[in-house]
């Protein structure tokens, strides 16, 4: 009987990553499809369109190492080569499928790591699908190849926070760390955590630590080189303005985790003025908690939760150095903070009453998330519809077949004057329509 129970438990643990991947993939699609069934033909989001157009026009190899907004987003540029192989009308559908599959693979990886860290299957499953359920994800990041950077950042953070000793972990995580570091400046934080974990002896195998460090360091070096020599550097925002924008974003997006509370606060002038203070308070408490947990070096799960909190803090700060606060910048931080909480829950006292209360609270938040499951029209609506953009391009090319034709992506992006560098980047010869 005990043997049968052990086999059943092992089977359940092995199936969790598969279930997590399937759920994340399907929910990524449903969040957009339920809001607008035209997403398959009419919604090609911002940088997704720009990177795919570049890959189709010039070839992936020509676009791959070009800087964008002052850094190198290699992952979305690489993956944009997939929809670029299809007819231009199919780009929205292929982009949606590729981004959803990315979400599924990331969720499966997260579930696999947590299961191997002895986290109960149900909690591991919950942590794995949290990113695709977040209101912030549905608001701006869902269905976007460019914004899948935040998903692979989550996976990379989980990998360095909860290291395993298997060869599979080493190979997969080495590839993941390279992709993260060469796709976003947030990757520098993962390299720093990796070095600390190596110093603490979390990687007993010298070969494993060498492979992981080499991949992360190589990606970081490439990213740093591109940042230094980037031709299109985005100017930094003044420190005070950037800090206020970041703090306000922390407060707002944390409140949005519970939509009913956010509905009572957002848009009300007295409360909006309180958001920066609330955000600073939340960030300070999380930072103190993260540092305390990291110092519990004897417990891998507890210290790993601490690293997730601290990486989340850094991930929330970095984009605000050169950008105003946007919802997508908080997908990775919120997912990492919630995952840390779930890991600590798994390690908490087995007191049934305490766990029952916590589970009820988590379930109530889950129910409120269901009310905001559909992506808002600002994300799911084609503005302009891609089918209309393509139709206009075909008409223009029929009249002037030897000239270049311009494209606009949702949401009416980029808004740039004719003849500018941005307008040239979103134009292509009429042969692109063949």
**pLDDT computed for residue 5 by the predictor:** 41
**pLDDT computed for residue 206 by the predictor:** 85
Burial 283-320 (b: 16+ CB within 10 A, else e): beebeebbeebbeeeeebbbbbbbbbbbbbbbbbbbbb
Contact (CB, 8 A) for 127 and 339: yes
Longest CA span, the chain: 77
Neighbours of 255 (CB within 10 A): 22
CA–CA distance, 408 with 427 (Å, rounded to integer) = 9
**pLDDT computed for residue 367 by the predictor:** 66
CA–CA distance, 267 with 381 (Å, rounded to integer) = 23
Kindly report the backbone phi and psi dihedral angles of residue 351, in degrees, each rounded to the nearest multiple of 5, phi listed first: -55, 120
Token readout for 365 is: 């938040």
**pLDDT computed for residue 378 by the predictor:** 81
CA–CA distance, 14 with 317 (Å, rounded to integer) = 36
CA–CA distance, 421 with 11 (Å, rounded to integer) = 55
Three-state DSSP at 217 gives helix
Please state, in angstroms and as integers, the Cα–Cα distance from residue 16 to each residue in 105, 119, 153, 185, 206, following that order: 13, 11, 21, 31, 31
The dihedral through the CA atoms of 413, 416, 419, 422 has a sign that is negative
CA–CA distance, 320 with 408 (Å, rounded to integer) = 26
**pLDDT computed for residue 4 by the predictor:** 41
Neighbours of 386 (CB within 10 A): 28
Please state, in angstroms and as integers, the Cα–Cα distance from residue 77 to each residue in 65, 97, 148, 230, 281, following that order: 9, 16, 11, 16, 37
Token readout for 165 is: 């000793």
Written as one string, the DSSP assignment of 106-168 is HHHHHHHHHHHTT--HHHHHHHHHHHHHSHHIIIIITT-SGGGHHHHHHHHHHHHHS---SHH
pLDDT tens track, the chain, 434 positions: 445 444 444 556 689 999 999 999 999 999 999 988 989 999 999 899 999 999 999 999 888 888 888 889 999 999 999 999 999 999 999 999 999 999 999 999 999 999 999 999 988 998 999 999 888 898 888 999 999 999 999 999 999 999 998 999 999 999 999 999 999 999 999 999 999 999 888 887 889 999 999 999 999 999 999 988 876 556 667 778 888 889 989 988 888 887 656 555 555 555 567 888 999 999 999 999 999 999 987 888 999 999 999 999 999 999 888 777 788 899 999 999 999 998 998 877 655 555 666 666 667 666 666 777 888 888 888 788 999 999 999 999 998 888 889 898 988 877 655 544 555 578 899 999 88
**pLDDT computed for residue 357 by the predictor:** 60
Token readout for 81 is: 């080569």
CA atoms within a 13 Å half-sphere pointing along the CA-CB vector of 429: 6
- Domain spans, the chain: 16-236+352-380
Token readout for 419 is: 């003849």
């Amino acid at each position: 009987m005990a043997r049968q129970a052990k086999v059943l438990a092992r089977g359940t643990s092995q199936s969790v990553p598969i279930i997590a991947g399937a759920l994340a993939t399907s929910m990524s699609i449903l969040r957009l499809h339920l809001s607008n069934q035209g997403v398959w033909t009419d919604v090609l989001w911002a940088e997704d369109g720009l990177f795919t157009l570049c890959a189709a026009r010039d070839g992936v190899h020509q676009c791959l190492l070009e800087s964008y907004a002052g850094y190198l987003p290699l992952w979305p540029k690489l993956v944009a080569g997939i929809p670029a192989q299809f007819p231009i009308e199919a780009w929205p559908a292929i982009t949606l499928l590729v981004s959803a599959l990315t979400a599924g693979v990331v969720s499966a990886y997260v579930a696999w790591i947590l299961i191997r860290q002895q986290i109960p299957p149900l909690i591991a499953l919950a942590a794995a699908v949290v990113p695709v359920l977040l209101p912030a994800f549905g608001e701006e990041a869902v269905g976007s190849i460019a914004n899948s950077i935040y998903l692979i950042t989550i996976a990379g953070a989980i990998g360095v926070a909860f290291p395993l000793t298997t060869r599979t972990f080493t190979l997969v995580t080495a590839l993941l760390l390279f992709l993260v570091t060469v796709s976003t400046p947030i990757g520098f934080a993962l390299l720093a955590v990796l070095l600390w974990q190596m110093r603490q002896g979390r990687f007993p195998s010298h070969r494993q630590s060498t492979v992981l460090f080499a991949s992360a360091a190589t990606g970081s070096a490439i990213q740093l080189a591109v940042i230094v020599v980037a031709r299109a550097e985005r100017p930094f925002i003044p420190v005070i303005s950037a800090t206020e924008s970041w703090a306000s974003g922390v407060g707002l997006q944390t409140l949005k985790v519970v939509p009913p509370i956010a509905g009572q606060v957002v848009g009300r002038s007295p409360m909006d003025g309180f958001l920066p203070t609330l955000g600073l308070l939340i960030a300070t408490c999380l930072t103190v908690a993260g540092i305390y947990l990291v110092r519990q070096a004897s417990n891998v799960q507890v210290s790993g939760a601490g690293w997730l909190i601290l990486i989340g803090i850094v991930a929330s700060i970095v984009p605000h150095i050169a950008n105003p606060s946007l919802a997508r910048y908080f997908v990775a931080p919120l997912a990492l903070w919630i995952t840390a909480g779930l890991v600590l829950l798994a390690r908490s006292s087995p007191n049934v009453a305490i766990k029952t209360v916590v589970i009820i609270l988590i379930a109530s938040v889950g129910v409120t998330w269901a009310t905001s499951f559909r992506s808002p029209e600002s994300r799911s609506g084609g503005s302009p519809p891609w089918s209309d953009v393509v139709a206009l391009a075909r008409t223009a090319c029929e009249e002037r077949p030897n000239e270049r034709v311009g494209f606009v992506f949702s949401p009416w992006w980029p808004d740039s004057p004719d003849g500018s560098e941005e307008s040239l980047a979103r134009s292509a010869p009429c042969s692109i329509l063949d």
